[in-house]
Amino acid sequence: MATLLKATETVPAGELVFFRCFFAIIPVIAYLAWRRKLRTALHTSNPLGHVLRSFIGVCSMGMGFFALTRLPLPETTAIGYAAPLLIVVFSALLLKERVHVFRWTAVLVGLVGVVIILWPRLTLFSSGAPIGNSETIGAAAALGAAVFSAFAMMQVRKLVQTERTETIVIYFFMCASLLSLLTIPLGWVKPTPEQAVLLIGAGFAGGVGQLLLTSCYRYADMSVIAPFEYVSLILTIIIGLVVFAEVPTITMIAGALIIVASGIAVILREHYLGLDRAKSREASTP
């Protein structure tokens, strides 16, 4: 999906969001119809919650897609890995969740990795480069996308307490498609036939990816599935080299490895804590 969107080159980020979400609806509807869940998928008790989640998600997606047009593909992907780390920070500060020293340490180490990746871009300010440098703005957009993504995940946590998974998915794509239309005044372009194929393909890829991810969580715990997300770093490095001739820098690889290591540490820690809690409940059950 990211590769197809990046290959469009001149299409504005808001337009990328529209195609990504609108055409993702097609495989999702087909899947829900096949499983005979289409009718119940539209039943919701929290419509405003879906709108809020969609608004935050569109902000994250728009910034992330803008970053794709300004930065190498693997660099954008690596910065996006900061989202799970930021969830820990926001949950502690805003939701008053208890975070132990181990997780704080892992998060801080991971954020150091983010700074390592961003530093070459942000130091453009001190080297006399203009403030409007596209790579610097792209780096800031990628970080902003990670921040909004963390807030979107927190909103999904609330929604899953009362809403079905398929309801959250279908409402996000529908609301996001409509919200992305608000960016038309910012300047949309008429896609060439080649760009149209790429955009529609990206939408389908995003929809199928969402379905596969949803199915993963049905059959395995998050602690088992989450580490596989980091495989995308290897894929994007290969794609960046082969398709876009983007050679990863040493700082990007070093920062990405630090982020991945800290992210996996947090995931494993959550897994072990979950096992401990389960054992405690079993022990206390008469």
Confidence at residue 128, expressed as pLDDT on a 0 to 100 scale: 52
What is the full DSSP assignment across the chain? -HHHHHHT-SS-HHHHHHHHHHTTHHHHHHHHHHTT-HHHHT--S-HHHHHHHHHHHHHHHHHHHHHHHHS-HHHHHHHHTHHHHHHHHHHHHHS-----HHHHHHHHHHHHHHHHHHHHHHTTTTTT--TT-HHHHHHHHHHHHHHHHHHHHHHHHHHTTTS-HHHHHHHHHHHHHHHHGGGGGGT-----HHHHHHHHHHHHHHHHHHHHHHHHHHHS-HHHHGGGGGHHHHHHHHHHHHHH--PPPHHHHHHHHHHHHHHHHHHHHHHHHHHHHHHHHHHH--
Q: Are 46 and 163 in contact (CB under 8 A)?
A: yes
**Region label for 163, one of left (φ > 0), alpha (ψ between -120 and 50) or beta (otherwise):** beta
Taking the C-alpha atoms of residue 188 and residue 193, their distance in angstroms, rounded to an integer, is: 15
Report yes or no on 52 lying in a domain: yes
Residue 10 lies in domain: 2-278
**Structural domain includes residue 221:** yes
**Count of structural domains, the chain:** 1
In this structure, the number of other CB atoms found within 10 A of the CB of residue 108 comes to 12
Asked, for residue 286, whether it belongs to a domain, the answer is no
User: Do the domain assignments include residue 248?
Assistant: yes
- C-alpha radius of gyration, the chain, whole number: 20
pLDDT recorded at residue 279: 47
Q: Can you give the pLDDT at residue 171?
A: 93
Task: Write the Ramachandran bin of 271: left for phi over 0, alpha for psi from -120 to 50, otherwise beta.
Answer: alpha
In a domain, 22, yes or no: yes
Burial readout 139-160 (b: 16 or more C-beta within 10 A, e: otherwise): bbbbbbbbbbbbbbbbbbeebe
- What is the amino acid identity at position 267? I
Tell me whether residue 285 is in a domain.
no
> Is residue 128 domain-resident?
yes
Determine the Cα–Cα distance for residues 86 and 149; give it in Å rounded to an integer. 9
- Give the pLDDT of residue 179: 95
Give me the pLDDT at residue 44, please: 92
pLDDT value at residue 131: 45
Rounded to an integer, what distance in angstroms lies between the CA atom of residue 64 and that of residue 108?
22
- pLDDT of amino acid 285: 44
Q: How far is the CA of 280 from the CAs of 101, 127, 174, 211, 274, in angstroms?
A: 21, 56, 42, 34, 10
Q: Is 35 exposed, middle or buried (0-12, 13-18, 19+ CB in 10 A)?
A: exposed
pLDDT truncated to tens, each residue of the chain (286 aa)? Answer: 999 999 998 999 999 999 999 999 999 999 999 988 888 888 999 999 999 999 999 999 999 999 999 899 999 999 998 988 898 888 888 888 888 888 889 899 999 999 999 888 776 555 555 445 778 889 999 999 999 999 998 898 888 888 888 899 999 999 999 999 999 999 899 999 999 999 999 999 999 988 887 777 677 766 677 677 788 888 999 999 999 998 888 999 999 999 988 888 887 777 676 655 444 444 444 4
- Is residue 203, in this structure, part of any structural domain at all? yes
Alpha-carbon span 107 to 87, nearest angstrom = 10
